[in-house]
Amino acid sequence: MNESKLDFNGLLISKEHRHFVEKKFRRILGLAPSDAVMTLCFTQGDNELNGDFQIHSRQRLFKANHNGQCFITLMETMSATIMEQLKDWKKHRFCQET
């Protein structure tokens, strides 16, 4: 069985920032489809952090890719993108096409 994964790829991150990212990750997992598997990966680019956030489920793929200087800002931006996709999915998931 696949499990959700949060990966900092050896990047140095403060305890407070790590806690913030993990808390957001868990919150979004709770709002995702029940069969969802989430991956959140941070890497260091030339001059900034790169974030790749994906939620895979049978219903849909949700994803956000952003770059930034700060874990908090990067996580907030990716979370907002994913939350908009989840909100749209929830609004339309029971609609029947005619």
For 37-94, how does the pLDDT look when each residue is reduced to its tens digit (9 = 90+)?
A: 999 999 998 889 999 999 999 989 999 999 999 999 999 999 999 999 999 998 887 7
Give the CATH number for residue 17: 3.30.160.100
Domain assignment of residue 48, yes or no:
yes
Q: Distance between alpha carbon 46 and the CA centroid of its chain, in Å? A: 22
| Distance from C-alpha of 35 to C-alpha of 88, rounded to nearest angstrom | 18
Domain assignment of residue 9, yes or no:
yes
Domain assignment of residue 36, yes or no:
yes
- What is the reported pLDDT for 29? 92
Number of domains comprising the chain: 1
Domain assignment of residue 97, yes or no:
no
By DSSP bridging, strand 61-68 and strand 49-56 are antiparallel
- What is the reported pLDDT for 3? 87
Q: Starting at the edge strand that comes first in sequence, how are the strands of the sheet with 37-44 ordered?
A: 5-7, 37-44, 49-56, 61-68
Containing structural domain, residue 43:
5-92
Domain assignment of residue 98, yes or no:
no
Q: Distance between alpha carbon 11 and the CA centroid of its chain, in Å? A: 18
Report whether pLDDT(19) > 90. yes
